[in-house]
Amino acid sequence: MTNTNASSYQHLLRNNKTWVDSKTNNDPTYFNDLSKGQSPEFLYIGCSDSRLPINMMTNTDPGHIFLHRNIANMVHQNDANLESVLEYAIHSLHVKTIIVAGHHKCGGVAAALGPKTEGVIEDWIRPIRSVYADNKKELDEHACTADRLSELNVIAQIKSLTQTRPFLKALSTKNAPNLVGWVLQLETGLIKDIPLPLDEWKKDEILPQTFVNTP
Ligand SMILES: [Zn+2]
């Protein structure tokens, strides 16, 4: 480890102590209260990109957002990691809303627009190549193909989420959480809400007619 790395690493611990002090100076029982439990209103599924601190971007305190992150905010079927997060968030924490958030300048999306490679990431991002193929004309004509593909990928991943076992179980008991699609615009810091084709999904029987989305 270089001195620079050691310094950066020590910096993390010093910052942590400063943060703890600032919290407890304002509220001496802050961490005691926080440790008693959680009842987050939101499940957030986002990209692992280091530039997306969603609590900072939404100015929310610990306890508000249950988090799952992976490269390019993917919802693969039979992903035990994500499905266990979904099951716990929906059926134990009873979150009200699930947010799937992509972002502009996403490396995973950019990789899906590039040549195929050997390795695990290629398998992981393969569904994004399908999103591109299904929307090639619109995407090729867009001013920023990759950023628009990030938006369409959010819609595709929410569609996939509706077919996961935990969400299907919630639909069967008419207790499904609301669904929200976001794209985080790195170039401005602003969050863009992405309209979801819920009526189309109901028509195609991907969602039941009884599904109500009121985030
Ligand atoms: Zn990304």
Residue range 86-119, pLDDT digits in tens: 999 999 999 999 999 999 999 999 999 999 999 9
Q: Is 188 helix (H, G, I), strand (E, B) or coil?
A: coil
Q: 72 with 105: CB under 8 angstroms?
A: no
**What is the layout of strands, in order, in the sheet containing 65-70?**
65-70, 42-47, 97-103, 178-184, 191-194
Catalytic residue, candidates 68, 103, 104, 148: 103
Q: pLDDT digit string (tens) for 124-176?
A: 999 999 999 999 999 999 999 999 999 999 999 999 999 999 999 999 998 99
Answer yes or no: 51 catalytic: yes
Q: Rounded distance, CA 45 to CA 50, Å?
A: 14
Q: 209 with 198: CB under 8 angstroms?
A: no
Tell me: pLDDT of 1 over 60: no
Q: What is the mean pLDDT of the chain?
A: 96
Catalytic residue, candidates 68, 104, 106, 148: 106
Tell me: pLDDT of 2 over 60: no
Answer yes or no: 106 catalytic: yes
Answer yes or no: 47 catalytic: yes
Q: Rounded distance, CA 173 to CA 199, Å?
A: 20
Q: What is the pLDDT of residue 7?
A: 83
Q: 66 with 40: CB under 8 angstroms?
A: yes
Tell me: pLDDT of 58 over 90: yes
- Cα(196) to centroid of ligand 1, in Å? 20
pTM summary value? 0.95
Q: What is the pLDDT of residue 5?
A: 62
Region 74-83: what's the mean pLDDT?
97
Tell me: pLDDT of 4 over 60: no
Catalytic residue, candidates 47, 68, 104, 147: 47
Residue 104's CB is within 10 A of a number of other CB atoms, namely 18
Q: Is 66 helix (H, G, I), strand (E, B) or coil?
A: strand
Q: What is the pLDDT of residue 83?
A: 98
Q: Rounded distance, CA 188 to CA 14, Å?
A: 30
Catalytic residue, candidates 11, 51, 94, 126: 51
Task: Please report which confidence band the pLDDT of residue 6 belongs to, taking 50, 70 and 90 as the band edges.
Answer: low
Give the pair of three-digit tokens for residue 20: 């703890």
